[in-house]
Structure 1
Amino acid sequence: MPKLEDWEIKKYWEIFQGLKPSNNKLTGEQVSPVLKNSKLSTEQLSKVWELSDIDSDGKLDFEEFCITMRLIFDSLNGNITSIPNELPNWLIPSSKSHLIAANKAVNSNQNLGIDYDDDEDEDDKLSDNFEWYISPTDKATYEAIYNSNSDSFGRVKFDSLNGLYNSLSKVPRADISSAWNLVNPKSFETIDKDQVLVFLHILNQRENGKRVPRGVPASLRATFSKEVPNYDLQKPAQAVSSSNGNNGTDNGKKSFASSYLTKITGSSNPINGTDFSSTEGTDWEEVRLRRELTDLENVLNKASSGLKQEKSNDNELAIVKHEFEQLLKYKQSKLSQSSVSGSTSNGKQLSEIKGDIELIESHVSTLQDYLTGKQSELSQLQQEIQALKSS
């Protein structure tokens, strides 16, 4: 079976980057020179674009660009006699396989064996009164489903929720795909917690007879960019209190995905633990790093202060040492003069001078040892400061 080779993907990446994509996507105008240089007919290029632009946003991301390039090269190299009517399975990115399945269902007027005529009749019965408000009970249910299906990175794949989809008798697969695309506008292979909660809420509303909306509010789109979510979008306080404990559903209706929750958790009632919603969006790692940085700055300031004190002490020692050295030179000079004169009358004075010199030499030696010790401490302190800065 053919496949995209690593060297081939690298070559396409260089071309893709050379066209200067915006938000990791290329417009038709940006890709046009590459397409026209292939010398394929306008009809062929139009078909290539239609197959490549899987999410139908009028732009090509890198995966879609790879599809475009491979189809063109296969056509030019004679590996295919004509542009195919649909993408071969090996050329479909896994992150967009659900879009292909949804498009096939729409084009064939089928959805997992369900006749679209029946769907159209059912669609007429759907309500446009879609509620974006997520009640605490519904949110707890959605979180239980999320916790049971998320990976170690807190992400959820589309196919990982197949068990849930099968339990929703009133939600066609096409509507499931539409809901997924709403919360996943960049067509990533996985979505995070905020997106999962909104995705499950759309399915819950659809199961309860509400039509899938065509878009999401701007405040919810912001949550998909890692901002703090606001689940209470439009529900005023009095409207919430007037729900009479229905939690956004009609009386007598079965709670969302109860059979699925029973299967994965052993109970249809989600676990009610401590509410940590007030901490959502807090960057604990940033807080920890800032605290460590403050501690490090305090240590550096303390070390710098100690270094300045040591330098001050060293300067004082140097002055004292210099004074003693000058005194020693003076005494030695006097001794030399006395030795040359050879006068015995000054014998007593000479003895006193020798005693003074020996005393001074002793002081100088003591000060020299003290200075050496302080210089060693200063060197060690400077090494510790350098190590702190490096870490």
Structure 2
Amino acid sequence: MAKEFFVALRLVACAQNGLEVSLSNLNLAVPPPRFHDTSSPLLISGTSATELPWAVKSEDKAKYDAIFDSLSPVNGFLSGDKVKPVLLNSKLPVDILGRVWELSDIDHDGMLDRDEFAVAMFLVYCALEKEPVPMSLPPALVPPSKRKTWVVSPSEKAKYDEIFLKTDKDMDGFVSGLEVREIFLKTGLPSTLLAHIWALCDTKDCGKLSKDQFALAFHLINQKLIKGIDPPHVLTPEMIPPSDRANLQKNIIGSSPVADFSAIKELDTLNNELVDLQRYVK
């Protein structure tokens, strides 16, 4: 099955360049397959993470599901051993493929379910189109089945908003480092830890915190004070303030490539055709 992924991409290229979708055309010099989408849901603004449309469109999900099923999943999961050959045959650098695996294994259980596999395929095509693979999974790429609400609860948010209003002395809708310095230091946490929390929450690196960012900062502070939980090295998708998500998504992925597999024969017949392909190459 590993070779089928490569064959499928070559057949896509043939179809997109007006050639017959045939194994006899696999060695022809054609441009690589084109993956594009000018209406990326990653670019939608003003939408919360739980309501944000999934970047993987339904028609493409069906195609990824066909590949998933062809790899003989067990109890709805594919092991790393089954996914690895498919990833390697994309010819992408190993470090990139490693990141694709880490991002798509959202549950961190060493296996991919149907939705996680679709995320992996999306990221592979993104990388094949020379788009950078993000360091963390953008909220719009998190499957709806695995999305969480914002980590700051409504009751917490109300409490932190009151503190914010008292701290925002100039009433410009933001608090500066100077404005929060005293209240931050009163928590008793080390200044290095407070600086890290500030850097995490200042997602736009502008030296100020919005009301949502301020709430997140205090959430992380209280997690450490009350539960002893250290802040993360980078924000997880559900931690990103709702008001910041649209801008961050634009920075993380500029476009969302989508493969056109409509002209490809059924994947389960490609295995037989590989025998003919090997004879042709020889």
TM-score (normalised: structure 2):
0.37
Flag the structure with higher helix content. 1
Task: Flag the structure with more relative contact order, 1 or 2, with Cα contacts below 8 A and sequence separation at least 6.
Answer: 2
